[in-house]
Chains A and B, each alone.
Chain A
């Protein structure tokens, strides 16, 4: 029943806001909806904790230890983002960057995007997972071009076409998966249900499944932002409104990776080789190194952190590809802390860009002097994302490196050099933005920095102490990811 509410609230909310989104109280209403979704997710989490994994609505939906924490994380980040976007979008309106119509589109599409993310996570049907991922592109593409500047239109078009083509590959992969499954499960509704596929995975045809996995990896990998399929990502993050950048980085990339991992579990069961793992490790390592070396060349603050997202998603993909209890555990933890930290950074960076009126880093100076909260938010977020203890990113990166030391020692130099290069590039740029003199004026609405510090506090807590039930979930999920 909780699943019904989790999906129904953002869906009906999105429809309502499509009509009422131009009212003055629309941001508060959106916030209320996100809060309701979060509460529903809380109830679902409690349900799973007490009764274990279950399927619902004729097995069309499925909750286990892997997707439940992503559902909770998605609902949480969606809520804090709407908390942040309330003043942020008002300031954008005051600056004349968006009109009333654009705001209506924004509020409506934000709810629908949350809906697609939760549908992708909760659906047991690999076909519906695909439909939801494509719908996620559709709901965000008009948000990326919300400002209607030439650059934002270009970014949105690129996002639309590249992700459309990418996701078409994933559809072909899904067709191949269905083709292999249909022989064993019979045609009709059940052959794409993940729980059924998982039960019969040793009998699935290996040739077809390895081909299916390649297509699924390339397809969903485009949305994860794996190099060399990452071209859309920095543009879409830099040109869209900041709340959209935050949810793209914090939610969409995670959910796309979730789809890849679901597919990997099936392929591993059918193949008895490490093909899927090697492919993911290759893509992951390439993403980490390429993104790290591109970081220092960035001039736009949001673009730089978009590259940092590519780097971290690469690291997580690498961890899942490596497999094993420790690496998968670390991958799950890194997914959580990266999502929280990166959205916090985007919140702070968005306000920083509003204060100074530019996203070019050379022109942003003296944030701490003008608005200590924004400055410190950006600084602490950067320290957290760079993996400095005691933040949670340090714990997960340390675990990934330890696992790699045992399983794939050859990868260690690449990882260490990339992390070092990324550190040098990001830290020096952020430092000069945060300190120094400034003449920037104050903002018309006081910035919402509660989400920034809530996220960073959570990341800090995860770095010091992982609650036992969370560790238990991660362990369970890591076990069946293999």
Chain B
């Protein structure tokens, strides 16, 4: 079976998304982590654009525009600003050693493909084969949130998870209705602002953004 050029390009960008997902899992430096996130968002924008052009789904152009402005430019810029203002440069500490995390990541990818199988079979979109990768992206981001100790890297994990979900929506259904996408974009933007406020509050209270200070509330 031959796959049309657009389909091949989408598969290629999906593969790239997965690669960036693993790169984020392995990255220790916060600045590179932000750049990787921007790159992942950019690949997401490209693949959505290809889907929009090849399937003539006009509402997807709006999502492409919103995602580009929000996730490729605005959020990485905001994160860079926070990092500069808070003067954070040090490496990210992880709860689990990075090679172990990578192995766990591989297991998650296998699980994701199994989960996606019954859904992709029912889907009629050209992008259906990428659904497994989308779910894998969500799970990898989730793993990153669990294993990182710094507040900033947890936030980047949160955003990467949102990217994975966005990709899942495009690959299974060509995107959600526009009003919903607008709402989600607004939520992400507001969440980003609140995260920013939080960074400063946490830093003020603990003199560090390390979450190990925030393990006081426990059941005795």
B176 touches A175 (CB 8 A): yes
Name the CB-closest residue of A to B121: A207
In the docked arrangement, what's the CA distance between A168 and B188, Å?
11
B177 touches A189 (CB 8 A): yes
Q: Which residues of A contact B154 (CB under 8 A)?
A: 161
The distance from the CB of A57 to the nearest CB of chain B, in whole angstroms, is: 12
Q: Which residues of A contact B179 (CB under 8 A)?
A: 125, 127-128, 189
Q: Which residues of B contact A138 (CB under 8 A)?
A: 187, 190-191, 194
B184 touches A171 (CB 8 A): yes
**CB < 8 Å: which of A179, A205, A294 contacts B219?**
A294
Q: Which residues of A contact B184 (CB under 8 A)?
A: 130-131, 134, 171
Q: Is A155 an interface residue (CB 8 A)?
A: yes
A127 touches B183 (CB 8 A): yes
**CB < 8 Å: which of B177, B186, B202, B216 contacts A192?**
B177
B180 touches A131 (CB 8 A): yes
Interface-central residue, B119, B162, B220, by most chain A CB under 10 Å = B119
Q: Which residues of B contact A208 (CB under 8 A)?
A: 118-119, 122
Are A150 and B205 CB-contacts (below 8 A) given A131-B187, A165-B145, A175-B169? yes
Q: Which residues from 133 to 156 on chain B have a C-beta closer than 8 Å to any C-beta of chain A?
A: 138, 142, 145, 151, 154
Name the CB-closest residue of A to B197: A142
Are A187 and B219 CB-contacts (below 8 A) given A127-B183, A148-B205, A179-B119? no
Interface residue count for A (Cβ, 8 Å)?
49
Q: Which residues of B contact A127 (CB under 8 A)?
A: 176-177, 179-180, 183
A128 touches B183 (CB 8 A): yes
Q: Which residues from 428 to 471 on chain A have a C-beta closer than 8 Å to any C-beta of chain B?
A: none
In the docked arrangement, what's the CA distance between A178 and B169, Å?
9
In the docked arrangement, what's the CA distance between A165 and B190, Å?
16
Q: Which residues from 160 to 208 on chain A have a C-beta closer than 8 Å to any C-beta of chain B?
A: 160-161, 164-165, 168, 171-172, 174-176, 178-179, 182-183, 187-189, 191-192, 205, 207-208
In the docked arrangement, what's the CA distance between A164 and B188, Å?
10
Q: Is B81 an interface residue (CB 8 A)?
A: no
Q: Which residues of B contact A168 (CB under 8 A)?
A: 138, 158, 161-162, 165
Q: Is B29 an interface residue (CB 8 A)?
A: no
Q: Which residues of A contact B165 (CB under 8 A)?
A: 168, 171-172, 175
Interface-central residue, B145, B174, B186, B191, by most chain A CB under 10 Å = B191
In the docked arrangement, what's the CA distance between A114 and B197, Å?
22
**CB < 8 Å: which of B118, B187, B195 contacts A207?**
B118
In the docked arrangement, what's the CA distance between A211 and B179, Å?
24
In the docked arrangement, what's the CA distance between A265 and B205, Å?
46
When each residue 195-220 of chain B gets 1 if its CB lies under 8 Å from chain A and 0 otherwise, what string results?
Answer: 10110011011100001011111011
The distance from the CB of B201 to the nearest CB of chain A, in whole angstroms, is: 6
Q: Is B10 an interface residue (CB 8 A)?
A: no
**CB < 8 Å: which of B158, B195, B216 contacts A151?**
B216
A153 touches B205 (CB 8 A): yes
B217 touches A135 (CB 8 A): no
Q: Which residues of B contact A157 (CB under 8 A)?
A: 151, 198, 202, 211, 214
B183 touches A131 (CB 8 A): yes
In the docked arrangement, what's the CA distance between A115 and B215, Å?
33
Q: Which residues of B contact A134 (CB under 8 A)?
A: 184, 187, 191
The distance from the CB of B212 to the nearest CB of chain A, in whole angstroms, is: 11
Interface-central residue, B151, B177, B216, by most chain A CB under 10 Å = B177
B214 touches A154 (CB 8 A): yes
**CB < 8 Å: which of B168, B190, B211 contacts A175?**
B168
Q: Is A479 an interface residue (CB 8 A)?
A: no
Q: Which residues of A contact B123 (CB under 8 A)?
A: 179
**CB < 8 Å: which of A156, A192, A205 contacts B180?**
A192
In the docked arrangement, what's the CA distance between A297 and B218, Å?
12
In the docked arrangement, what's the CA distance between A239 and B216, Å?
12
A153 touches B214 (CB 8 A): yes
Q: Which residues of A contact B72 (CB under 8 A)?
A: none
Instruction: Please name 18 pairs of A and B residues whose Cβ atoms are closer than 8 Å in the assembled complex, sorted by A.
Output: A125-B177, A127-B177, A127-B179, A128-B179, A130-B180, A148-B204, A150-B214, A154-B214, A154-B217, A161-B145, A171-B184, A172-B138, A179-B119, A179-B173, A208-B118, A208-B119, A211-B118, A297-B219
7 shortest interchain CB distances as A-B pairs: A127-B180, A131-B183, A154-B214, A134-B187, A179-B172, A175-B169, A235-B217
Given contacts A154-B215, A235-B217, 9 further A-B contacts (CB under 8 A): A127-B179, A153-B201, A154-B214, A157-B202, A158-B214, A168-B138, A172-B138, A183-B124, A299-B220
Instruction: Name A residues whose Cβ lies closer than 8 Å to a Cβ of B.
Output: 125, 127-128, 130-131, 134-135, 138, 141-142, 145, 148-151, 153-158, 160-161, 164-165, 168, 171-172, 174-176, 178-179, 182-183, 187-189, 191-192, 205, 207-208, 211, 235, 239, 294, 297, 299
